[in-house]
Amino acid sequence: MVGIVFASHGGLAEGVRDSVTMVFGEQRDLACVSLRPSMAPEEFRAELEAAVRGLSDPEDVLVLVDLWGGTPFNQVSALLDQHEGWALLTGLNLPMAIEACASRMAGSGARELAGQLLVEGRRGVRVLPEGLAPKASRPVAAAPGAAGTAAPAAGEGGLQIKWVRIDSRLLHGQVAMAWSKEIRPDRIIVVSDNVAHDELRKNLITQAAPPGIKANVCPVSKLIEIARDPRFSRTSALLLFEFPQDVVRVIEGGVPLEHINVGSMAHSAGKIAINGTVSIDADDAQAFKWLHDHGCKLGWQKVPADREEPVWPLVEQSGLLS
């Protein structure tokens, strides 16, 4: 029997499990993993792996995830290549979950079951009155000569940087869904030497791009180069950094960044929490001091609906600068 894992932000996974239980009763080989607000991606992965180890067959597993591009999706995706029998399906909803529990006894593996559920999950999304459903549109013919023509020449200047955010989770659900809708960039650029040389992480980030927005990964030196390149003057970008030290390097390279938005910096050995989502060590504190001393506005904000709070006073109070 295929093992099933519901994975989500917040308590959605547990809620779907409880609803399935109302229909079928208690289910064997069904686990839930939830990303809590204070949880680092590595902690979520550890809980996911522990949940899978508790299943009867840890190599025949279907993971139903809430959101494409979120941290649960990214962490499951990173494990897929190591498990030939695993499958991942996003858009977790109750019809999909019910069908999964009803069909997994049929003898097919997780990957075959995922294909069936893709149809059922979509079928479960309907609207009343039915007239609200959009009419199928006819494809618009391309203008004569459009195919193969070169893009218009860019104007003067360089990359249009709309927002700069430090978030150790990089391109995850909050950025892909909330921040991208608020900022409306053409491109999300992850600026990280580490990720630029990690093909797996780089591929996961490009896959996690929200609809209509491209995602790229580049090292710090490349960002400094393209920021001044006039060919990118029509590109508006949301920049994502893992570390404040990389922001310092970009500014030292001549890129003017005046406002740095801080979302999450994961806790690890040697770091202390300065608020609910940001943990820093002495090196981080010195980087924030450099940014503060060079006139950068430093604000902490989890999601666009939150009010931005100043970061610098928290760094000063941390005791890491003495």
Question: What single letter denotes the amino acid at residue 269?
Answer: A
Residue for token digits 């450099």?
A: 290
Give one DSSP letter per residue of 199-223, joined into a string: HHHHHHHHHTPPTT-EEEEE-HHHH
Residue 163 dihedral angles phi and psi, to the nearest 5°? -160, 145
Q: Are the C-beta atoms of 289 and 282 separated by less than 8 Å?
A: no
- CB burial of residue 16 (10 Å; 0-12, 13-18, 19+): buried
Q: Are the C-beta atoms of 277 and 179 separated by less than 8 Å?
A: no
The two tokens of residue 24 are: 């079928």
Coil, strand or helix at 109: coil
Selecting among 172, 259, 267, 294, the annotated active-site residue is 172
Selecting among 9, 83, 197, 294, the annotated active-site residue is 9
Strand 279-280 and strand 272-273: pairing? Answer: antiparallel
What letter does residue 245 receive in the DSSP assignment?
H
259 is catalytic: no
Phi-psi category of 154—alpha, beta or left, where left has phi over 0 and alpha has psi -120 to 50?
beta
172 is catalytic: yes
Alpha carbon 13 to its chain centroid, in Å, reads: 18
Strands (E), the chain: 3-9, 30-35, 61-65, 87-90, 160-167, 187-191, 214-218, 236-241, 259-264, 272-273, 279-280, 297-300, 309-310
Residues annotated catalytic, as ranges: 9, 172
